[in-house]
Amino acid sequence: MFKIAVLVSGNGTNLQAIIDHYLNNPDIKISLVISNKADAYALKRASLANIPTMVISKKDFPNQSDEILKQVKANNIDLIVLAGYLSILSGSIINEYKNKIINIHPSLIPAFCGPGMYGHHVHEAVIKSGVRYSGCTVHFVNGGVDSGPIILQQAVDVFYTDTPDSVAAKILVYEHKLLVKTIDLIANNKVIVHDNNRVEIKK
């Protein structure tokens, strides 16, 4: 059994996509959902699916990343999935779960990423820039912000009639698909990170 923990902060639509995909999967299980916010609707989604939940906030746990590490190790987690998680992991968890933490970002990294680039801020910057394409990226998490090895990306067209909301809606469809595809690949040992941080996807 390949066990995953999903970290969330908000509504949890990406979490819902993961739940729906693995609900009756005998080989891959969502063992734990952790939020940094007690009022995150994602926690309700997890509870409705009978998935154990925890709230680990900086207010209650100054060493937030260390507490998350403690909990994922206690639950024998194989992969940590950041699905709209708006807090930065740091410290021992990055090393102990090297290439075992993935994040979904709503742009084509390295464009529109880094500190301050999250959620709607990304799509507003995309529209303001006038680029013709945006998209989403699933990458491994390292010590930086949106700087880990890129696993999968999906581009979408950006038209002059688009708004931040319409771009967000187009990208969200692919976020759901890319996340579960990445989890499947990793669970089946098809993702290899080479020394130069380039990712190989095995056939």
Quick: pLDDT tens for 8-33: 999 999 999 999 999 889 999 999 99
pTM of the prediction?
0.96
Catalytic member of 105, 123, 139, 176? 105
Whether residue 105 lies in the annotated active site: yes
Burial of 203 by CB count in 10 Å (0-12 exposed, 13-18 middle, 19+ buried)? exposed
What mean pLDDT comes out for the span 31-44?
98
pLDDT of residue 195: 87
Average pLDDT over residues 105-130: 97
**Local confidence band at 196 (pLDDT 50, 70, 90 cut-offs):** confident
Structure token digits, residue 190: 């098809």
Residue 199 parent element (H or E): strand 199-201
Q: What is the mean pLDDT of residues 171-200?
A: 96
Residue 145 · residue 118 · CB < 8 Å: no
For the segment 80-105, the average pLDDT, to the nearest whole number, is: 96
Q: Which amino acid is at 169?
A: A
C-alpha 149/C-alpha 154 separation (Å) is 15
First-to-last CA distance in the chain?
22
Q: How confident is the model at residue 115 (pLDDT cuts 50, 70, 90)?
A: very high
Distance of CA 31 to the CA centre of its chain: 16
The answer to whether 86 and 42 have CB atoms below 8 angstroms apart is no
3-state SS string for 93-154: HHHHCCCCEEEEECCCCCCCCCCCCCCHHHHHHHHHHCCCEEEEEEEECCCCCCCCCEEEEE
Enter the tokens of residue 143: 């010590």
